[in-house]
Amino acid sequence: MSTPQMERIREHLGTLRLVRTLAQLDTLLDEATRREWTYAELLDRLLIDEIGAKTERSLATRTQFAAFPFVKTLETFDFKYQPGLNEKQIRELAGCRFIENGENLVLLGPPGVGKTHLAVAIGLKAIAAGYRVLFTSATALLAALTKAHGEGRLEDKLKTFCLPQLLIIDEIGYLPIERLGANLFFQLISRRYEKGPMILTSNQSFGSWGEVFGDQVLATAILDRILHHAATVSIRGESYRLKEKLKSGLIRKRDEDQAA
């Protein structure tokens, strides 16, 4: 349909960015006529569709912004493979109340037990709940902070990492951190302290963080702030990456290794 009135409606929908309604205007009007909708019914349907599309777009934009290394959900996490893990606790954390309360979540455990998977899965729940989330590895975070420091832009960079309502810092402890990096990390943790919830993952127990940060005093100060309001989940099971190999008997389980 193309009358001056329809053209005006289209133009106004465009100005108001009601893109969904603009895209399906003809179909919507046809359907309204065919089904003899009341004006209220048509308006109701139009608004439901528009808001649905807007929510979808916002979700997609925030998921993209979060920069997850992969998209894995809680629904695809096999809790049976990690019987030591408290499923109820993880599901409660996925309810995002810890974010609302400004608390942190620390996931500890050896490689392959699902730390990143769970961090991403909870991050996705946070996005669905309306939060802005940013995922980074500790290495990438420190590289970005160090570079910004060298270029006199540290303040801006710290702000970038303070803006997201949930910051996920993955893989603390995989690589040793230099003195400057440890200092910059401390500055970030101090900024987010008590107001910027984080999910942190590490393959190192807290007792080893002194070595990770190359400085026991600094590591204690960092841990002090992180753990003041935090839940810690330790995953002690087997690596999921080795699942198939373990099954075939190609390699032995960790506890068998330790017993041997």
Shortest CB 69 distance to Mg ion, Å: 8
DSSP 127-179: HHTT--EEEEEHHHHHHHHHHHHHTT-HHHHHHHHHSSSEEEEEEETSS---H
Listed ranges 27-35, 49-57, 112-120, 248-256: which one lies at the site for Mg ion (CB under 5 A): 112-120
**If we measure between CA atoms, which residue out of 199, 186, 195, 190 comes closest to residue 232?**
199
Q: According to CB under 6 A, which residues from 70 to 99 bind ligand ADP?
A: 72, 76-78, 81-82
Listed ranges 58-66, 110-118, 129-137, 249-257: which one lies at the site for ligand ADP (CB under 6 A): 110-118
Q: Which of residues 77 and 161 has its CB atom nearest to ligand ADP in the complex?
A: 77
Choice from 29, 45, 49, 112 touching ligand ADP (CB under 6 A): 112
Instruction: Give yes or no for residue 241 binding ligand ADP (CB under 6 A).
Output: yes
Identify the helix (H) or strand (E) that includes residue 233.
strand 230-234
Q: What angle do CA 97, 98, 100 make, to 5 degrees?
A: 65
Asked if residues 65 and 132 have their Cβ atoms less than 8 Å apart, the reply is yes
Listed ranges 90-98, 114-122, 125-133, 181-189: which one lies at the site for ligand ADP (CB under 6 A): 114-122
Shortest CB 239 distance to ligand ADP, Å: 7
- Beta partners for residue 247, in sequence order: none
Tokens of 163: 């803006």
Q: How far apart are CA 111 and CA 238, in angstroms?
A: 9
Instruction: Give yes or no for residue 239 binding Mg ion (CB under 5 A).
Output: no
Choice from 116, 136, 165, 239 touching Mg ion (CB under 5 A): 116
Instruction: Give yes or no for residue 114 binding ligand ADP (CB under 6 A).
Output: yes
Q: According to CB under 6 A, which residues from 33 to 72 bind ligand ADP?
A: 72
Q: Which of residues 13 and 127 has its CB atom nearest to ligand ADP in the complex?
A: 127
Q: How far apart are CA 153 and CA 191, in angstroms?
A: 16
Q: How far apart are CA 102 and CA 39, in angstroms?
A: 45
Choice from 105, 113, 184, 198 touching ligand ADP (CB under 6 A): 113
Residues that bind ligand ADP (CB under 6 A): 72, 76-78, 81-82, 109, 111-117, 240-241
